[in-house]
Structure 1
Amino acid sequence: MIDKRNIVIKIGSALLANQDLLTPRFGFLQRLMEDVTRLRAEGHDVILCSSGSVALGLRIVGETPETAGVSDKQAAAACGMPLLLNAYKQVGHEFGLEIAQVLLTLDDFEDHRRFLNTRNTVHRLLEAGVIPIINENDSITTEEIRVGDNDRLAAKVAQMIGAKDLIILTGVDGLYDRNPDDPDARFVPEVDDVSEYMAATQGKSTLGTGGMATKLQAANMAQEAGCTTWIAQGEADRPLSSVLSGERRATRIIANPNPRSGWDSWITNRLQMAGSLCVSNAVADALDGGARSVRREDVISMDGDFTRGDVLHIYDGKGIERARGLSDFTSEEIRVLTNNPDTAAEQLLGYRTRGEIIRSANLVPLDTRHLLWDAPEAIA
């Protein structure tokens, strides 16, 4: 018996689009939506994070996966999204399923107010019995402002709705300890610490934007929010329920048994780095206790141009990331504060403030299982 829970499904482009014809694979969609119907009958809420719009639109704009540039992919996404949604709608109606499209951008995840608004929309769709089909709005995003892969997007959605399971359907049956083309490669059925396998995850598919590395990054984000991730081959008669019931091989990335709160999880699970600060080793050690703020006298160096409310990555003197927190100031204000340490913050900024760059309530130390980001060159 499968416990009733919220389930997020991420489907890769190679499963949805024929690689040669760049047309929808209706046979796969039939198996997928039939299994979604089965899970819903058991009481689960299901959310789909679907790739495929760019792949399905490439033929229309006269490009291939190998030749398409950024503007080509944006145009292809605009052409392919109606094809993708129409395919889902056609197949979904056979099973009495209603679907809705939710297009997101990076800011919908990184801005907390927009994050909450998006969550409310998804929950309302689920209350109405509608299946949300979520994708990045590829027709308007550029390399600088995009999530970049639907694996991490799906993990953020799982965090957003408090999902217990994230199933990533792909072209392989799970994680291997090295390139699966290597005859000595061994299948990994269960993972606790994804950092142990990051070195073995290079490469990506022809049609997709992510490889196994982004899937492990997504799994790490999900497990910190208390969500179990499954990486599995999508070509199966029951691609979802057979994974959850343990009937076929898949890699299971174990959820943290003591997940972070929703607020802490939102702060720590980032899709892009807005900015960063370097502090001394002694200050970084003190931050581990979780009850210390970052003050202007703590800052050794800073990188990035950011605004108030952006999440900053905190590094120690060795360039090791130690914490993430919400900035109370813009990058320009921090420069003014740190360049004039003997002048009162209120006098420098023109308004009353305690001068704490990151308050302790908005700062989260990173634990040993959290994937760390390399320090920018400016502070490394």
Structure 2
Amino acid sequence: MDEQKRIVVKVGSALLVNQDDLTLRYAFMHGLLADIASLRAEGYEVVLVSSGSAAIGLGTLGLRPESAGVADKQAAAACGQPLIINAYKQIAIEFGLDIAQVLLTSEDTENRRRFINTKNTIDRLLTYGILPIVNENDSITTEEIRVGDNDRLAAKVAQMVRAPDFVMLTGVEGLYDRDPAEPGAQFVEEVEDVSVYLEATKSKSTLGSGGMLTKMQAANMAQNAGSTAYIASGILERPISSILKKERRHTRCIAIGDPQSSWRVWLADRLNMAGSLVVNAEAAKRIRSGKTGIQADDLLSVQGEYNKGDVLHVYDETGDEVARGLTNFPSNEVLLLAKQTNEEVSELLGYHSAADIISKDNLVILEGHHLTWDAPEHDVLPISE
């Protein structure tokens, strides 16, 4: 497989579903798959990440997106998923394409074993010349439906398959330096530092639950994984290839240097926070040097209930995020170790283990190009009462 000619394409609900009557936009889907077929003929491998199942399913339930709750959208996704995949199948036949459906939740990308299993499945589908169509499994998710994670989920897929190009098709031409409705708003053709534009990206569409903010977050994740992200409108004719060939306006978020190892990229960019640690100032300094892991006596507080092998966010005393890493212990054991630092691990826990809460090799120091997460404000368990 030639990963240098691999593209992940994400399309949102507003492009796939008519807002007025909640029916599929077959003309757009036809143009999209026609372009994918052309790209495949040029030797490209394409992975399509598609929204739309919940939006099209609302029509089946007789509901409107603005009034539907989370449980309604879960039911709508269950109704809509077979409808949208059947539409893709019928159109794909016209172009001699075979398709496969891959349903994911954020947990499938956060768990390392499931992440690798999903990567292997998509890689094998591409090997056999099949177009993988990935969608978030909205019928069983809750928080993701509220916040619109399909953009970032698509970025995780781009990271997963090591795609050099990540295309997000949306209802606008790309990024503006402020709300496009404001006088003097300027179109942004190229982005290096996504954080500069976050405040200008707060609005979202009616059908989709995401907006330009989640696209900027997704673009940053792609950048960190060595992918160039493109944001452009979803036109009917050649919506993807016209971007790659620079034939129409779009925003290009350039890859940041060479990608880190797939292991470190997976550690660094998360969709959800399993839990977090706050470390003292001296520990934060040592961690930033990249020369040490995290010990029990470094900790000031612990947040969240998590398991061994989950990825934790690490903050200093001022609330700045320092690093992310794979915990060697579940949260109850971390708290126990932090409260009794003079005791041996084996004495406290009843089994032998390395003393590091997070080992140096399983810790990624956040650099300036990573978007950081705000420190959690609730459910923090202090080490000392």
Alignment partners' CA distance in 2, 1:33 and 1:213: 27
Instruction: Choose 184-193 or 337-346, whichever is displaced more.
Output: 337-346
Distance 2:67 2:365 in 1: 43
**What does residue range 158-197 of structure 1 map to in structure 2 within 5 Å?**
158-197=158-197
Matched, 1:270 2:270: yes
1:49-97 deviations in whole A, cap 9, x for unaligned?
0000111110111110111111111111111111101111111111101
Q: Are 1:52 and 2:52 matched, yes or no?
A: yes
CA distance in structure 1 between the aligned counterparts of 2:264 and 2:150, rounded to whole angstroms = 22
Q: Which residue of 1 aligns with 2:330?
A: 330
Aligned amino acid, residue 270 of structure 1: R
Residue 237 (structure 2) aligns with: 237
Distance change in 2, residues 1:120/1:256 (3 Å): same
Deviation at 1:147, TM superposition (A): 7.9
For residues 206 and 196 of structure 1, what CA distance do their matches in structure 2 show? 25
What secondary structure does 2:361 align onto? Answer: helix
CA contact under 8 A between 1:106 and 1:145: conserved in structure 2? Answer: no
Aligned AA (1:97):
L
Q: Secondary structure at the match of 1:283?
A: helix
**Is the counterpart of residue 224 in structure 1 residue 224 in structure 2?**
yes
Using the alignment, how far apart are the partners of 2:246 and 2:284 within structure 1?
43
Report how far residue 286 of structure 1 moved: 1.5
Question: Are 1:8 and 2:12 matched, yes or no?
Answer: no
Aligned residue runs from structure 1 range 19-34, under 5 A: 19-34=19-34
In the alignment, structure 1 segments of 5+ residues that lack a partner are none
1:189 shift after superposition:
0.2
**Alignment partner of 1:271: what SS?**
coil
- For these two proteins, the number of residue pairs brought into alignment is 378
Which residue is equivalent to 2:38?
Answer: 38
Structure-to-structure mapping, 1:286-325, within 5 angstroms: 286-325=286-325
**In 1, Cα distance between equivalents of 2:9 and 2:333:** 42
Amino acid corresponding to residue 335 of structure 1 in structure 2: L
Listed as ranges, the matches of 1:80-159 within 5 Å are 80-143=80-143, 148-159=148-159
> CA–CA distance in 2 between the matches of 1:110 and 1:4?
25
Task: Spell out structure 1 runs of 4+ moving beyond 4 A.
Answer: 144-147
- Percent identical among aligned pairs is 57
Quick check: 1:105–1:146 contact (8 Å CA) kept in 2?
Answer: no
Residues in 2 aligned to 1:66 and 1:316: alpha-carbon distance in whole angstroms: 40
Residue correspondence of structure 1 range 366-377 to structure 2 within 5 A? 366-377=366-377
1:99, CA displacement in angstroms?
A: 0.6
Do the aligned partners of 1:105 and 1:147 also contact (CA within 8 Å) in 2? no
- Structure 1 residues 198-217: aligned runs within 5 Å: 198-217=198-217
Take 1:269 and 1:149, find their aligned partners in 2: how far apart are those partners?
13
Partner of 1:58, secondary structure, is helix
Secondary structure, counterpart of 1:210 in structure 2: coil
CA distance in 2, matches of 1:115, 1:271: 13
Separation in structure 2 between the aligned mates of residue 93 and residue 4 of structure 1, nearest angstrom: 27
Letter in structure 2 aligned against 1:15: L
TM-score by length of 2: 0.96
> 280-289 or 111-120: which moved more?
280-289
Q: In angstroms, what is the RMSD of aligned CA positions?
A: 1.5
In structure 2, what is the Cα distance between the partners aligned to 1:63 and 1:145? 16
After TM superposition, the score normalised by the length of structure 1 is 0.97
Please, which runs of 5 or more residues in structure 2 have no aligned partner? none
